[in-house]
Amino acid sequence: MQDYLAQIEKLRKDAAEAALIRDLATDPHKRTIFDRIASHLTMLADQVEMAMLERKGPAGV
């Protein structure tokens, strides 16, 4: 379970960094690319978190 948590944390950190780069970029094309990267990494983190919760089961086992 610690592996899942570490991966979620890394994905969210990477998404935040991509969002920061997006916000600092002056080129509209680069802004679009980094926005897509940030969104994709956030979605991946959400999916890993959902998989972890599903694996845990309804009783938290």
> What pLDDT digit, counting tens, does each position of 17-26 carry?
999 999 999 9
- From start to end of the chain, where are the E strands? none
Give the number of other Cβ atoms within 10 Å of residue 58's Cβ.
7
Distance CA 41, CA 61 (A): 28
**Residue 3, amino acid:** D
Domain residue spans in the chain? 2-55
**Residue 53, amino acid:** L
Distance CA 15, CA 38 (A): 4
Average pLDDT over the chain reads 91
Q: For residues 15 and 41, is the Cβ–Cβ distance under 8 A?
A: yes
Tokens of 45: 């983190």
pTM across the whole model: 0.84
For the segment 34-51, what is each residue's pLDDT rounded down to a tens digit?
999 999 999 999 999 998
